[in-house]
Amino acid sequence: MSWWPFRKKPEAGPRAADAPPGDAASAAGQGPPLETEREAPAPVPEEEAVGALGLLTRGLRKTAAGLKQLLGLRRAIDEAFLAELEVKMYEADFGPDTVAALLDDVRAAWRAETLRESGQIAPFLQERLRAQLQAKDTQLVRAPSGPTVILVCGVNGTGKTTSIAKLARWLAARGDKVVLAAGDTFRAAATEQLQIWSRRIGLPLVTGGARSDPASVAYSACERALAEQADYLIVDTAGRLHTQANLMRELEKIRRVIAGRIPGAPHETLLVLDATTGQNAVNQADAFHRAVALTGLVMAKLDGTAKGGILVTLHNRFRIPVKFVGLGEKVEDIAEFSAERYVQALFA
């Protein structure tokens, strides 16, 4: 195992973008990189801390534009209008069950003459969506003692590794000590990618040799987190198709190993989903939830997609809260999920 040493005050060093993407030795876990290859965790700019709504509004602009195109017309409500609204909601990827439930509410209010024209529909839907999404606590769990272990899973290509880096940087910037574990040992590129990110954000990384047992990497990372008295341990796992039963069993093994070393762990099991995949995200969430009992979702690539409604579908279908949303390619483009901000941005 390779443990990247943790320092409270890392010295300045070359940026990961300027450094080689990791040689064969480091990718295989045969030795730690030079101390100067890591940087201090970047602080969260004040404008970022107060601009989460702005990030979310930017990310959901395509979804909002589609809804506003119809709801901003100030038309009288009739069946033809409701049929158009149904199409717009499907385009926003709210999903069949969510669309049907929301349209039933709108239709009932229209017939009761509570709603008379289209301009009243946006605040009406906002109220209902807000109530649904606030039913679950979206705050990241913190263990009562010892390191909080976050197990991160997801299909290749969803933005899983980048989301891990964003989350780690977000935690470090608020003062938490974070250790990363490269448990995706089946792809050397995955370990290499996490190495580059760990250098850039200045956090220690535990790696294993190529094709080594991911559970052993997770165990070694637990040892490291305990020894360093870390606040959080974030464990990457092999990107896998949710239809591959053998790999899903391996994920269950990682959970058992972690639980055996740190009681109560993993405290969070997060699934990273690509918001642009739409309803396929429902199938992924279903398979992973049955295998490892998910505690939260991270919606990546929410920026620029017209499918922001998938968050509501996932929340209502599985009763799993969305905890973070990825809103761009930069490491700071992540925000804690807020039902209030989401609903505002959805109809901005």
Q: How much is the mean pLDDT over the chain? A: 83
Q: By C-alpha distance, which of 50, 60, 119 is closest to 312?
A: 60
Taking 50 as the threshold, does the pLDDT of residue 328 lie above it?
Answer: yes
What are the strands of the beta sheet with 2-3, ordered from one edge?
A: 2-3, 205-207, 178-183, 232-237, 148-153, 268-274, 296-300, 322-326, 334-336
The whole-number average pLDDT for the span 138-162 is: 94
Taking 70 as the threshold, does the pLDDT of residue 198 lie above it?
Answer: yes
Encoding tokens for residue 57?
A: 């509004």
Least confidently predicted of 64-68, 105-109, 336-340: 64-68
Taking 50 as the threshold, does the pLDDT of residue 298 lie above it?
Answer: yes
Taking 90 as the threshold, does the pLDDT of residue 14 lie above it?
Answer: no
Question: Sorting pLDDT into bands at 50, 70 and 90, what band is 166?
Answer: very high
Residue 140 is predicted with a pLDDT of 95
Taking 90 as the threshold, does the pLDDT of residue 327 lie above it?
Answer: no
**What backbone phi and psi angles, to 5 degrees, belong to 2?**
-115, 120
The whole-number average pLDDT for the span 130-158 is: 93
By percentage, how much of the chain surpasses pLDDT 90?
57
Question: Sorting pLDDT into bands at 50, 70 and 90, what band is 5?
Answer: very low
Can you give the pTM of this predicted structure?
Answer: 0.81
Contact status, residue 225 vs residue 267, Cβ threshold 8 Å: no
Residue 185's alpha-carbon distances to 211, 299, 328, in angstroms, are 5, 24, 27
Residue 133 is predicted with a pLDDT of 93
Per residue, the 3-state secondary structure of 316-347, as one string, reads HHHCCCEEEEECCCCCCCEEECCHHHHHHHHC
Taking 90 as the threshold, does the pLDDT of residue 242 lie above it?
Answer: no
* Beta strand extents in the chain (DSSP E only): 2-3, 148-153, 178-183, 205-207, 232-237, 268-274, 296-300, 322-326, 334-336
| Distance linking the first and last C-alpha atoms of the chain | 49
Q: Give the 3-state secondary structure of residue 233.
A: strand
Interatomic CA distance for residues 347 and 64, integer angstroms: 5
> Amino acid letter at 84?
E
Residue 34 is predicted with a pLDDT of 26
Question: Sorting pLDDT into bands at 50, 70 and 90, what band is 262?
Answer: very high
Interatomic CA distance for residues 187 and 197, integer angstroms: 16
Least confidently predicted of 3-17, 68-82, 187-201: 3-17
Residue 306 is predicted with a pLDDT of 65
Taking 90 as the threshold, does the pLDDT of residue 254 lie above it?
Answer: yes
Taking 90 as the threshold, does the pLDDT of residue 61 lie above it?
Answer: no
Q: By C-alpha distance, which of 158, 288, 147 is closest to 218?
A: 147
Q: Specify the higher pLDDT residue, 175 or 275.
A: 175
Q: Give the 3-state secondary structure of residue 247.
A: helix
Q: Which CATH architecture has domain 1-7+24-30+48-348?
A: 3-Layer(aba) Sandwich (3.40)
Residue 290 is predicted with a pLDDT of 87
Domain chopping of the chain, boundaries: 1-7+24-30+48-348
Q: DSSP string spanning 10-31?
A: PPP---TTTS-S--HHHHTTSS
Taking 90 as the threshold, does the pLDDT of residue 46 lie above it?
Answer: no
Taking 60 as the threshold, does the pLDDT of residue 113 lie above it?
Answer: yes
Taking 70 as the threshold, does the pLDDT of residue 163 lie above it?
Answer: yes
Residue 32 is predicted with a pLDDT of 34
Interatomic CA distance for residues 201 and 167, integer angstroms: 11
User: Computed from CA positions of residues 245, 246, 249, 250, in that sequence, does the dihedral angle turn out positive or negative?
Assistant: negative
